[in-house]
Amino acid sequence: MSILDQGRILVTGGAGFIGSALIWALNRRGIKDIVIADLLGSDGKWRNLVPLRFSYYIEADRLRHKLEENPDFLGPINFVFHLGACSNTTEKDASYLVENNFEYTRFLAHWAIDQGSRFLYASSAATYGDGKQGMDDRDEDLARLRPLNPYAYSKQLFDRYAQRHALFEDIVGFKYFNVFGPNEYHKAEMRSLVIKAYQQIRDSGSVRLFKSHHPDYPDGGQMRDFLYVKDAVAITIHLAEQDTFKGIFNVGSGIASSWIDLVRPVFESLKLPEAIEFMDMPEGIRSKYQYFTRAEISKLRESGYDPPPTPLDNAVRDYVTRYLVPDRRLGD
C-alpha cells in the first residue's frame, strides 16, 4: 500500500491540465478521498472533472479565505499537490502573477507545513530562462537563473523564498518541462503544439512552425524536452510517495527533440502526407525564445524512478488517436 492511500489529498488546479491528469492517475490506484480546488471560470475545464472521482470541490479563492479563517476547515490533509497557477507565459500583469503564483503558494506552503501535510508544488522549467545557466536541478544557486517573462519570474520568486527560509527541508518542487497530452483543451494559446498541429492539419492539411532565427538551428529544428502528461504524473506520484525526497526536481524526459519530431507523428496518426510551412517568428518574442531545452534528470533517476519516458512518436499517436480524434478526456 502506498502512503498516498493513507489519508486525504488536496489538489489545487485539480480541474486543470496536469492537476486533472494527476487525479485520473490517483483514481486508477483506487484513491478517491481528494479535495479539488480550482477556478472553473468559463473556459470549459470543468469537463476534465466529469469522469473523475473526488470527495469535495471548492473554488481556490474561497479555499484560501476559509483556511485563513479556520486552518482546520478541511480536516486532516496528508498531501497537498499545489498545481494551481496562472500558467500563461504571455501574461504581462506581473502584480497579478506575483499575487496568484507566489503569494498563494507561500500561504499554502506554510499552512501545509503547520498542519503536518506533505507539500508538493509546481515550479516550472521556465525559471531556467534561456538555459545559459544550465538546467540542472542539483544547482543550488537559484539566484543565477534569469527568467525571461513575468510568469517564470513569479515561479522563481517562490523557489528562492523556499530556499531562503529552508522550506526545502520539508517540501518538493516540480520543474515541469514541455508537458503535453489530454485535458489541455481549455488552455487556449498555452496548449501544446500537438493539439494546435492536429487542429491545423484537420482544417487545412498543413501545419505552421516558426522559422529559426539562430544559425545553429534549422527551421523547425528548435529543440525542446517534451514529456507526455501520463509520464509527468507518474513522476509526480513517485516523488510524493517517498517522504525522504525534498527540494526541486526536474520533471522531463531528459531528451531534446525538434518541433518537426513532434508534429510528424500527428500526420502519421491521421494518415495524411506531411506538409509543414514556416513563418517568421514575431519580433516581440525573438529575444526571449528558447532554442534548446533538456532536463537534467540524474537526480530523478537516483530517487529510484527508472521507467523510460514514453517514446515521443508513441505518445503523440496515443494522444491523437485515443483523445483528440474522439474528443475524450482522461477517464472517459
Q: What is the pLDDT of residues 34-46, one digit of tens each?
A: 999 999 999 999 9
User: What is the average pLDDT value for the chain, to the nearest integer?
Assistant: 94
Q: Is the dihedral of CA 122, 212, 192, 319 positive or negative?
A: negative
The catalytic residue positions are 151, 187
Q: What is the largest CA-CA distance in the chain?
A: 59
Specify the length of the chain in residues: 332
Which residues are CB-contacts of 178 (< 8 A; sequence separation ≥ 6)? 125, 192, 224, 225, 226, 227, 252, 293
Which residues are CB-contacts of 19 (< 8 A; sequence separation ≥ 6)? 11, 12, 13, 36, 38, 81, 83, 84
- Grid-cell match 507565459, residue found: 89
pLDDT in tens, 215-229: 999 999 999 999 999
Q: Using DSSP, state whether 295 is helix, strand or coil.
A: coil
Q: Please, which pLDDT band fits residue 108 given cuts at 50, 70 and 90?
A: very high
pLDDT in tens, 46-71: 999 999 999 999 999 999 999 999 99
Percent of the chain scoring above 70 in pLDDT: 100
Q: Please, which pLDDT band fits residue 287 given cuts at 50, 70 and 90?
A: confident
pLDDT in tens, 295-316: 999 999 999 999 999 999 999 9
pLDDT at 87 over 90: no
Fold held by 3-180+226-254+292-310: Rossmann fold (3.40.50)
**Domain spans of the chain, in order of start:** 3-180+226-254+292-310
Q: Using DSSP, state whether 99 is helix, strand or coil.
A: helix
Residues 250 and 299 sit within 8 Å (Cβ to Cβ):
yes
**Quick one: average pLDDT of 11-28?**
97
Range among 48-57, 134-143, 242-251 with highest mean pLDDT value: 48-57
Q: Please, which pLDDT band fits residue 243 given cuts at 50, 70 and 90?
A: confident
The amino acid occupying position 24 is W
Determine which helix (DSSP H) or strand (DSSP E) holds 9, and give its type and residue range: strand 9-12
CB atoms < 10 A from the CB of 205, how many?
Answer: 12
Helical ranges in the chain per DSSP H = 17-28, 60-69, 94-97, 104-115, 150-164, 193-204, 229-241, 259-270, 283-286, 298-302, 312-319
Query: How large is the angle between the packed helices 229-241 and 17-28, nearest 10 degrees?
Result: 70
**Quick one: average pLDDT of 87-96?**
88
Cell of 87: 500558467
The amino acid occupying position 170 is D
Which residues are CB-contacts of 255 (< 8 A; sequence separation ≥ 6)? 225, 226, 294, 309, 312
Q: Please, which pLDDT band fits residue 1 given cuts at 50, 70 and 90?
A: low
Q: Please, which pLDDT band fits residue 173 given cuts at 50, 70 and 90?
A: very high
